[in-house]
Amino acid sequence: MAIRIIRKEDDPVLRKKAKVVDKIDEKIHTLLDDMVDTMYDADGVGLAAPQIGILKRIIVIDIGDELIELINPEMIEEKGKQTGAEGCLSIPGVTGDVTRPQVVTVKGLDRNGKDIVIEGKDLLARALCHELDHLNGVLFTDKIED
Ligand code: ZN
């Protein structure tokens, strides 16, 4: 386990589309462990693999109640709307209001390759949308409302 360097806003890796993980092996487990360590070390509520320079579709989230690790996450449903303040470990010192769905349903794989479905509302919905955006090279600053 190790803490990795979090890439910052002007790093081009943050603008690339991450690739689907086709094999979950020991390297992916180490990556997940490092992502979790890095997220907690930085006091974040979520981290996507491109933020540590790895273009794979993997996210980790912990909004304070449980750790979620998701490989190849896909949005399957979005409901309602919420507007609220958002920030990002890759863009320190910046916050802004972003409108996101109130409730989302996301499917993906856990670290054992098992299908999982997560329904998130409020902050968890916001975190899932934010991290999924990272996998497509989208930053929250693209969506800030004035
Ligand atoms: Zn972010």
Distance (Å) of CA 137 to CA 30, 71, 89, 91: 23, 17, 15, 14
Q: Is residue 7 part of a domain?
A: no
Enter the pTM of the model: 0.97
Q: Is residue 82 part of a domain?
A: yes
What is the number of domains present in the chain?
1
The stretch 115-143 carries a mean pLDDT of: 98
Structure tokens at 110: 């856990």
CATH of the domain at 94: 3.90.45.10
Indicate the average pLDDT of the chain: 97
Burial of 144 (0-12, 13-18, 19+ CB in 10 A): middle
Q: Is residue 128 part of a domain?
A: yes
d(CA 119, CA 125): 8
d(CA 90, CA 7): 6
Question: 121 falls in which pLDDT band (50, 70, 90)?
Answer: very high
Known catalytic residues? Answer: 131
Q: Is residue 129 part of a domain?
A: yes
The pLDDT assigned to 10 comes to 94
Whole-number Å distance, alpha carbon 134 to ligand 1 midpoint, is 7
Q: Is residue 106 part of a domain?
A: yes
Whole-number Å distance, alpha carbon 131 to ligand 1 midpoint, is 6
- pLDDT single digits (tens) 37-90: 999 999 999 999 999 999 999 999 999 989 999 999 999 999 999 999 999 999
The pLDDT assigned to 146 comes to 73
Whole-number Å distance, alpha carbon 133 to ligand 1 midpoint, is 8
Near ion ligand 1, which residues have CB within 5 Å?
A: 88
The pLDDT assigned to 140 comes to 98
Q: Is residue 134 part of a domain?
A: yes
Q: Which domain holds residue 76?
A: 12-142
Secondary structure in 3-state letters for the chain: CCCCCCCCCCCHHHHCCCECCCCCCHHHHHHHHHHHHHHHHCCCCEEEHHHHCCCECEEEECCCCCCEEEEEEEEEEEECCEEEEECCCCCCCCCEEEEECCEEEEEEECCCCCEEEEEEECHHHHHHHHHHHHHCCCCHHHCCCC
Q: Is residue 4 part of a domain?
A: no
With 90 as the cut, is the pLDDT of residue 1 above it?
no
- pLDDT single digits (tens) 14-30: 999 999 999 999 999 99
Q: Is residue 20 part of a domain?
A: yes
